[in-house]
A and B are shown apart, each in its own frame.
Chain A
Amino acid sequence: MSRVIHVLRAWGRSVEGEALAMKEGFSPRYDLNRTTGTITRIGHSCEGQSIRGRILVIPTSKGGVAGGWAFYDLLEKGIAPLALVFGKLNPVMVQGAILADMPITEGWTEDALALIRTGDRLRIDPAGREITVL
């Protein structure tokens, strides 16, 4: 049975893909090896996981202005995530996502972290401000 999560703000086209759910904040500079697309921060809940082609589900943003360029760079390197689903974000994530044409959402009415697990298939519908857990 699919479940729907409503989001407060969203941008981009609809996409469907696999979730990588994080327990803490994420920054492309602090947590990610931007050459390999693997999360390398020691002790991060997704340490060792690749972000490539996945929908990142992230409670908060950390830092940092690096995301402004980094998502676009990851896209060209072929290791970009498919979409970004944030609880709370900072504007850099939106600026970076728009440059990289990467769907992005902020805020959730239901607790997305309780409903979504790594490996779940999600549909992101920014126009309808909805995330569906398939």
Chain B
Amino acid sequence: MQLTAEELAMLHGEQGESLKKAIAFQVEVGRFFGAQRLVPITNAHVMGDIEVMGDAGFGFLEGFAARKAQCRVPTDSNARCMHFDDSIECLRPDPAEEGKERRVVSMLRDMRIATTDTCINYQTVYQPKLGEHVAWGDTGTVIYANSVFGARTNYEGGFSSFAAAMTGRTPAYGFHLEEVRRGSIAVELRATLRDLADWGAVGKIVGHPNQDYLAVPVFEGVRDMPLSDALKQLGASLASYGSMAMFHLVGVTPEAPTAAAAFGGREATSKIVITDDDLEAVYRSYRFAEGAANVVVFSGPQLSIFEMQDLAARFAGRKVAGGMHCFVTTNHAIYSDAERLGYLATLRSAGVNVLRGVCFYLLQRMTDIRAENGWTNLVSNSAKLVNTITAHRFNTVLRRTADCVEIACTGKLA
């Protein structure tokens, strides 16, 4: 790998221990993938919460905090595992872990990280431009950046995004390279997509049988210009089921003015046609299990202000049924705005719990929380969420938004 004089200085420890550790790690990762160089980045998005880091990651981060490590580029933080809201009793975290989580937040701030605690930074924090290199540490944010903005990033998990934030660089492999961004799977959309859940279902149909980080689906046949929230669900689902980091929507996304441009000469390895029947088959594939207590969750990714507005309208004048719990997650910024706009008051009076700064599947102690509450089914309009939360042994069911609201308010599992 070719390193600049400044990068070599970092590697030799001339700019301190933290930068030495950071760049040495990046060089190891870059070598695995055959990267030729490091590329400068403008923005980083880090994921660090006590649930996923554990005491090991906590101790590791403390070393950087003690050395007063600083991020070189504007950096924000992903959704956390705790909401610090004692009023929601059924979701209590472990008190000892809560203390550590508060300390993690404080360490991130000392490292010059804006703790926005959001997995929708692309809607609320920073929108990189076509060709801009960034280092984002959440799969849903990565696929949105590559696909919708035409920015360039790989999945940067754990220490990887922190290292990039500190050095201001990342190894040039994967989606930083032009040739990797070309389409490889042809998808013809014949189905009519009416709900956010339909976009997630499309992501599952394409992602699940084609698990491959380097696969890039190219969608044709989109009739109406999709909204940001629809592309958010499509991307999050492709990333979750397929471990994919980029898609093209011909006529919509910036690197796909035409199908030919999207494929860029790369041969499509497979072709998928998606009809209305295929969408219905996805919904039919989920079965409810017998259980007296269940949850309906709107989360994964966090909700935008327009999703909050929509949900408030749907829940207005209604009540969450006995035996049901209903949760919504969003970030601090949207929570504040939704409070000001009255959406939260409407949701609260319907019995809906709104959590801020978290994503539902990230919550600490989730396996125990599920058991304590006796929850059996988790119903959501997020195809990602019904996939990511399964280690905690929920029976998960994907349903359209209107059906989710109906299930929450009637308790009838259908």
- A residues touching B (Cβ–Cβ < 8 Å)? 9-11, 25, 29-35, 40-42, 59-70, 72-77, 88-92, 94-96, 98-99, 104
Q: Verify B53–A73 contact, CB threshold 8 A.
A: yes
9 A-B pairs with C-beta separation under 8 A: A40-B367, A40-B392, A61-B243, A63-B388, A69-B157, A69-B159, A73-B55, A91-B213, A98-B28
Pair A90/B158 contact, Cβ less than 8 Å: no
- The answer to whether B56 touches A66 (Cβ under 8 A) is no
A57 CB to closest chain B CB (Å) equals 15
Q: Would you call A69 and B29 a contact (CB within 8 A)?
A: no
B52 touches A70 (CB 8 A): yes
**Whole-angstrom distance from the CB of B38 to the nearest CB of chain A?**
15
* Pairwise interchain contact A11-B32, C-beta atoms closer than 8 A: yes
Q: Which residues of B contact A35 (CB under 8 A)?
A: 367
Q: How far is the CA of A104 from the CA of B60 in the complex (A)?
A: 21
Known: A41-B391, A42-B390. A65 touches B174 (CB 8 A): no
Chain B residues closer than 8 Å to A40, beta-carbon distance: 367, 391-393
Do the beta carbons of A91 and B393 come within 8 Å of each other? no
Asked if A88 and B158 make an inter-chain contact with CB atoms under 8 angstroms apart, the answer reads no
A69 touching B28 by the CB < 8 A rule?
no
Counting CB contacts under 8 A, is B48 at the interface?
Answer: yes
The one of A10, A65, A75 that contacts B139, using a Cβ cutoff of 8 Å: A65
| Neighbouring B residues of A73 by C-beta, 8 Å | 52-57
* In contact, A95 and B29 (Cβ under 8 angstroms): yes
Q: Cβ of B33: which chain A residues have Cβ within 8 Å of it?
A: 9, 91, 94
- Of all chain B residues, the one with the shortest Cβ separation from A94 is B32
A-B pair count, CB < 8 Å, reads 151
How many B residues touch the partner, as a band? 35 or more
List 20 additional contacts besides A68-B161, A69-B158, A88-B214; criterion CB under 8 Å.
Answer: A30-B387, A33-B391, A34-B391, A40-B367, A62-B241, A63-B239, A65-B156, A66-B157, A68-B157, A69-B47, A69-B53, A69-B54, A72-B158, A76-B55, A91-B29, A91-B173, A95-B29, A95-B159, A98-B25, A99-B60
- Contact indicator A30/B243 (Cβ below 8 Å): no
The answer to whether B390 and A68 touch across the interface, beta carbons within 8 angstroms, is: no
Q: A29-B388, A95-B157 are in contact. Are A68 and B137 (CB under 8 A)?
A: yes
In angstroms, Cα B244 to Cα A41, docked, is 21
Interface residues of B in 143-185 (CB under 8 A from A): 154-161, 173-174
- Residues from chain B with Cβ under 8 Å of A11 in the complex: 28, 31-32
Alpha-carbon gap, A18 to B1, bound state (A) = 34
CB-nearest residue of chain A relative to B49?
A: A69
| Shortest Cβ gap from A67 to chain B (Å) | 6
Residues of B within 8 A of A76 (CB): 54-56, 59
B138: CB under 8 A from chain A? yes
Query: CB distance A64 to B388 under 8 Å?
Result: yes
Option from A33, A75, A95 in Cβ contact (under 8 Å) with B158:
A95
Give every chain B residue within 8 A of A59 (Cβ-Cβ).
Answer: 211
List, in ascending order, chain B residues with CB within 8 A of A61's CB. Answer: 211, 213, 243
Give Cα A120 to B233, complex, Å.
41
Query: Is B267 interfacial (CB 8 A cutoff)?
Result: no
Residues in chain A near residue B339, CB distance under 8 A: none
Considering the complex, give the chain B residue whose CB is closest to the CB of A89: B213
Distance in Å: Cβ of A86 to nearest Cβ of chain B: 10
Among B52, B158, B243, the most chain A Cβ lie within 10 Å of the Cβ of B158
| B282 → A minimal CB distance (Å) | 17
